[in-house]
Amino acid sequence: MSEKWLTGKVVENRHWTDTLFSLRVEGAPLGFRAGQFVRIALDIEGQRVARAFSFVNPPDDPVLEFYGVIVPEGPLSPRLARLRPGDALDVASNPAGFLVLSEVPDAETLWLISTGTGLAPFLSILRTPEPWTRFRNVVVVHAVRYARELAYRDLIQRTGARYVSFVSREAAPGSLAGRIPAAIADGRLEAAAGLPLSAATAHAMLCGNPQMLKDVQAALAARGMRKHRRRVPGHITVESFW
């Protein structure tokens, strides 16, 4: 069956840094659940090039928002970064994905753990009522290479979530140094959040770099936390970006 496409119009392309951008797109009304993604596409030299992007906007906001990074050698992302207000962007009609709170069991604390643009789906989730009615605490963990890449920090702090940032390639006051898995292992992440990260109290949703997903799952396994499955409940839900 051929994929159905809606053609939206770019209304804003905000550049946070040389490589990070947020596209806002009107005119492509879609039903989706916070945390899901959709394929977006451009026709490049006569070929349709489509990639998955997570929604940043909450489902009740009709202006779609996507948060992207330029992969210099990638076919689509450098072109998305160059879109300007008024340009067309095709959006598939079938959002999908399981990084959604309806797939997450109850817990005391919801940990939303991301690297880079893996933050995107959590921005949508944070702006729905569900995390605030179901969990006593919500912690957002965002790891980037450089402090200037800590996008959406103000928005996250306005939601009331506890916010822990990591900056791995320069010293950055207010952020932890190094990588998330090491800070789980040595207790620095829990100390920064002021909350335990344990099978008894926590559910962790992870999104971003696939190697980070593996390493964080190994660090959490050492604390007795395992992947959640519908038939075998656990404590970890993941989505890989590549």
Ligand X SMILES: Cc1cc2nc3c(=O)[nH]c(=O)nc-3n(C[C@H](O)[C@H](O)[C@H](O)COP(=O)(O)OP(=O)(O)OC[C@H]3O[C@@H](n4cnc5c(N)ncnc54)[C@H](O)[C@@H]3O)c2cc1C
Q: Are 221 and 196 in contact (CB under 8 A)?
A: no
What CA–CA distance (Å, rounded) separates 39 from 89? 11
User: How many chain residues interact with ligand NAP (CB under 6 A)?
Assistant: 17
Binding status of residue 75 toward ligand X by CB under 6 A? yes
Binding status of residue 145 toward ligand NAP by CB under 6 A? yes
Binding status of residue 120 toward ligand NAP by CB under 6 A? no
* Residues 6+ away with beta carbon under 8 Å from 204: 111, 113, 197, 216, 220, 225, 235, 236, 237
The interface with ligand NAP within residues 171-200 (CB under 6 A) comprises 179-181
Residue of 10, 23, 64, 69 that binds ligand X (CB under 6 A) = 69
**Residue 180 interacts with which of ligand X, ligand NAP, none, CB < 5 to 8 Å by class:** ligand NAP
Torsion of CA 119, 158, 191, 112, to 10 degrees: -30
Amino acid letter, 157: Q
In the bound state, the residue with its beta carbon closest to ligand NAP is 116
What CA–CA distance (Å, rounded) separates 76 from 57? 21
| Residue (9 or 188) nearer to ligand NAP, CB | 188
**Residue 143 interacts with which of ligand X, ligand NAP, none, CB < 5 to 8 Å by class:** ligand NAP
| Residue (45 or 73) nearer to ligand NAP, CB | 73
CB of residue 180 to ligand NAP, shortest distance in Å? 5
Residue of 40, 110, 140, 144 that binds ligand NAP (CB under 6 A) = 144
**Residue 135 interacts with which of ligand NAP, ligand X, none, CB < 5 to 8 Å by class:** none
* CA neighbor of 227 nearest in space, from 42, 44, 99, 88: 99
Binding status of residue 179 toward ligand X by CB under 6 A? no
Binding status of residue 215 toward ligand NAP by CB under 6 A? yes
CB of residue 166 to ligand NAP, shortest distance in Å? 6
The residues binding ligand X (CB under 6 A) are 37, 51-54, 66-69, 71, 74-77, 97, 116-117, 120, 239, 241-242
The residues binding ligand NAP (CB under 6 A) are 69, 71, 115-116, 143-145, 166, 168-169, 179-181, 209, 211-212, 215
